[in-house]
Structure 1
Amino acid sequence: MLRILRASGLSSSFTPFRALLSSSSSPDPQRGLSVVFFGTDDFSLPVLNALVEARDCDGSVASIEVVVPKLKDPSAKCTIESVARSAGLRVHVPNRRTTLKYWGLPGAPPPGGSDGDGDDDGEPMEIGPRYDVGVVASFGYLIRPHIASAFRLGIINVHPSDLPRHRGPAPLHHTILAGDTTTAVCLIDVDPTAFDVGALLARSPLDLTTLPDTPFPPPLPVLSSTLAGTGGKLVRSALRSWNATLDAAVDQDRLGAEPSHAPKVSKDDAIVPWATAPAAHVLRLHRAFAGSFDAQAFVTLPARRKPDGARKRVKLLELDVVAAGDPAAGDAAQLAPGTIAFDKPRKRLLVGTADAVGVAVGSLQVEGKAPCSAVDFANAYLRRLLGSGFVV
């Protein structure tokens, strides 16, 4: 989940982490590791917790500092910053929201030797090792070579997909959208030459069809929390048995799997394409964007001075496929894609899909309004729609 800067412009003194796999670098057995953690959100939290446990319980970690992104709202704090500060950890916030180019770790000169607040375009400066290991989990910044050079043993990244499948910033979403039945959380080295291609240091597979009390495909929050918890365990194990972790490293190009990319997603990716989407795909959209953008559609409502009406975005909060044995399966099969019908006995909406199966919607949220039940939506909007349902 980390975008990696390519290695152009690196001096000969910079040693990529991959090169350390065959070097003599190893932790000092007489002391724990000094770690800098890079993270932001709920996925990052179990990994940070694992580092704190390693410090407090087995001594494999001696110290932890935390780097979090700068947010748009100066008064806001991301999940990791709040937790880290409450735990008494030293927290560093880069001076810009979109890049680490003009920022260096404390005590080290930033690129170009500036104070990090100007706009100079100086060459990155390598500062030499000041810490042992960097640990990254859902951070989002490019890790620049002048920052990577601060780590004696390199930087490792927790990536929630079965690499090399779903390399990129949104592997969780794309795992669900693709209908994958298995996935994994991987621990890889941060390679400065490309994106998510570092050597595989550890891997924990997961069968998505057998998660306890969880439907398939799993909702995004469930998949995220499950893989994050496992990722924290992988990190703690790796730091405790560092040399064994390095000995087990495997280049991804030797895994025999076809790489794929998981690009960043937006709310527009959550819009249901009713004209072409079968019911199973609508369900995957719903699960992939649950708790974030949510699956979305559009309706057209009457509006003053707009003869063609006003298009309103609608979030589909509760949704499932109409099963073959459902009492309303025959009715749903007759609906054209995107057409809405109210299933009064079961207090839900039926929506036609491209494969004549249909989905059932239990609650929704119209743009600018509070969430509502299917009953409330039917009473307030169904007769006012310009058209037969969702915009196709």
Structure 2
Amino acid sequence: MLWRLPVGLRPLVPSNCHSYSTVATPTPLRILFCGSDDFSIASLRALSRWKRDEPKRVKSIDVVHRPGKRTGRGLKIIKEVPIKRVALEELQLNTHEIDTFTGWTPPNPFDIIIAVSFGLLVPPRLLNAAKFGGVNVHPSLLPDLSGPAPIHHTLLKHRTKTGVTVQTLHPKYFDRGRVLAQTPSPGIDVPERTTVSALTTILGDQGAEMLVNVLGNADGWSMSEDAGWYQGTSGPVEHAGKIDKTHTYVDFATATAGDILIRHHVLGDLWCVPPQISGGERIILNEIDSLDVADATDCKPGLFIPAGSNTVAIRTVDGKVLHVKSCTLPGGKKGGGNARLVRLLA
């Protein structure tokens, strides 16, 4: 697939900013790669293959990742970021674990910083130390869905088109760098009923290819504090904020059936606080699907037991009914709460 630089690039670059240039003799790059998840792993693997196949283009790759997070009961289990294992065991690269750039200096010289799904803003101190500044791969058609969770929001917002943007790293703001390449408009189709994992794979592969193409066709970039700009677009422009517990909360007063089902498909387990149950304890909704119930029109939105059944159901604010196939109650076994919930709601 051929990627294009956005039309009108040079006229949009401020007069006091450096423009991009191609030189005849490429410099072997010493890369500082900052990443975390499967989307960033695709780019790291592509760079590693490029280093293997064209050693005159890439001299070295060092990987920066954040520390693992404590999880599980008692926070005794440390969940490492996925890129750590890939970098160390599969690609055998040098790694550096940091949770802040404050006070940290890379132990080895580097020419360019590549940050993909990293979550920390690379400070001007490091960008200025890099001969060619920094580059980012972002899984959306910027300026739409800037932010930390573009793939999730692509699905949550029912986007039918998506793509990848390669941009420079801005010294002050996330996703405000100069666009170097982008999936041609109107983007690629979002497969029907696709998952976050599947879409991550599609966009990760495209972003990896685009990144290597960009690096292979230019030898370096210079940044300025006011170098950021957005490509014009005729489509929607929204922010893709961090996914948190508010996205998985079901408010029966506002949530439609379609909203609940798409969030369950994209995010997995949802949760609610049924007013019928004292104590305000959370109920985890593990499995949900559609249910055809004819006698629910008089029910208020929320959890209920259809007449003549032992089924837990949800009547939504738009008058539809969903089936709670399994749920988890506080202190109970995961997915084993339906029988108890039937008794509580009866």
TM-score bracket for the superposition, by shorter chain length: 0.7 to 0.9
Per the alignment, residue 188 of structure 2 pairs with 206
Contact 2:285 2:327 in 1 (8 A): yes
Q: Which amino acid aligns with 1:272?
A: V
User: Alignment partner for residue 80 of structure 1, among 79, 83, 90?
Assistant: 83
Comparing 176-185 with 61-70, greater Cα deviation is found at 176-185
Contact 1:317 1:364 in 2 (8 A): yes
CA 1:63–1:342 in structure 2 vs 1: closer, same or farther (change >3 Å)? Answer: farther
Pairwise CA distance, 1:371: 2.5
Contact 1:332 1:350 in 2 (8 A): no
Per the alignment, residue 101 of structure 2 pairs with 100
CA 1:139–1:250 in structure 2 vs 1: closer, same or farther (change >3 Å)? Answer: closer
Contact 2:288 2:322 in 1 (8 A): yes
User: Alignment partner for residue 235 of structure 1, among 198, 203, 211?
Assistant: 211
CA 1:203–1:270 in structure 2 vs 1: closer, same or farther (change >3 Å)? Answer: same
Q: Which amino acid aligns with 1:280?
A: G
User: Alignment partner for residue 250 of structure 2, among 252, 272, 294?
Assistant: 272
User: Alignment partner for residue 48 of structure 1, among 44, 47, 51?
Assistant: 44
Q: Which amino acid aligns with 1:206?
A: I
Taking the aligned partners of 1:65 and 1:276, their CA distance within structure 2 comes to 48
| 2:197 pairs with 1:221 | yes
CA 1:362–1:225 in structure 2 vs 1: closer, same or farther (change >3 Å)? Answer: farther
Q: Which amino acid aligns with 1:381?
A: L
CA 1:367–1:191 in structure 2 vs 1: closer, same or farther (change >3 Å)? Answer: same
Taking the aligned partners of 1:137 and 1:348, their CA distance within structure 2 comes to 45
| 2:314 pairs with 1:354 | no
Per the alignment, residue 142 of structure 1 pairs with 121
TM-score normalized by the length of structure 2: 0.79
Taking the aligned partners of 1:40 and 1:56, their CA distance within structure 2 comes to 22
User: Alignment partner for residue 337 of structure 1, among 301, 314, 324?
Assistant: 301
RMSD: 3.4
Per the alignment, residue 6 of structure 2 pairs with none
Contact 1:334 1:356 in 2 (8 A): no
SS at match of 1:232: helix
Contact 2:135 2:167 in 1 (8 A): yes
* Percent of aligned pairs sharing the same letter: 29
Taking the aligned partners of 1:311 and 1:230, their CA distance within structure 2 comes to 46
SS at match of 1:226: helix
CA 1:206–1:320 in structure 2 vs 1: closer, same or farther (change >3 Å)? Answer: farther
Where in structure 2 are there 5+ consecutive unaligned residues?
A: 1-13, 71-76
CA 1:364–1:255 in structure 2 vs 1: closer, same or farther (change >3 Å)? Answer: same
Contact 2:28 2:59 in 1 (8 A): yes
Note the 1:190-201 alignment, pairs <5 A: 190-201=169-180
Taking the aligned partners of 2:169 and 2:131, their CA distance within structure 1 comes to 13
Q: Which amino acid aligns with 1:198?
A: G
| 2:163 pairs with 1:184 | yes
Per the alignment, residue 7 of structure 2 pairs with none
User: Alignment partner for residue 288 of structure 2, among 319, 322, 332?
Assistant: 319
TM-score normalized by the length of structure 1: 0.70
Comparing 254-263 with 46-55, greater Cα deviation is found at 254-263
Contact 2:63 2:93 in 1 (8 A): yes
Taking the aligned partners of 2:288 and 2:204, their CA distance within structure 1 comes to 26
Pairwise CA distance, 1:356: 0.8
Offset from partner CA, 1:166-222 (integer Å, 9 cap, x none):
1112222322222222222221111224331212222233312xx2xx51xx33333
Taking the aligned partners of 2:279 and 2:81, their CA distance within structure 1 comes to 36
Contact 1:201 1:245 in 2 (8 A): no
User: Alignment partner for residue 382 of structure 1, among 334, 342, 346?
Assistant: 342
Per the alignment, residue 35 of structure 1 pairs with 31
Taking the aligned partners of 1:69 and 1:244, their CA distance within structure 2 comes to 27
Taking the aligned partners of 2:328 and 2:116, their CA distance within structure 1 comes to 32
Contact 2:69 2:80 in 1 (8 A): no
Per the alignment, residue 305 of structure 1 pairs with none
Taking the aligned partners of 1:145 and 1:368, their CA distance within structure 2 comes to 48
Q: Which amino acid aligns with 2:262?
A: R
Taking the aligned partners of 2:167 and 2:43, their CA distance within structure 1 comes to 14
CA 1:340–1:21 in structure 2 vs 1: closer, same or farther (change >3 Å)? Answer: farther
Pairwise CA distance, 1:251: 4.4
Pairwise CA distance, 1:146: 0.8
Offset from partner CA, 1:304-325 (integer Å, 9 cap, x none):
xxxxx33332332332345xxx
Taking the aligned partners of 1:282 and 1:258, their CA distance within structure 2 comes to 23
Pairwise CA distance, 1:65: 0.5
Taking the aligned partners of 1:227 and 1:201, their CA distance within structure 2 comes to 17
Where in structure 1 are there 5+ consecutive unaligned residues?
A: 1-15, 108-129, 303-308, 323-327
Taking the aligned partners of 1:142 and 1:81, their CA distance within structure 2 comes to 19
SS at match of 1:131: coil
Contact 1:35 1:133 in 2 (8 A): yes
Contact 2:33 2:44 in 1 (8 A): yes
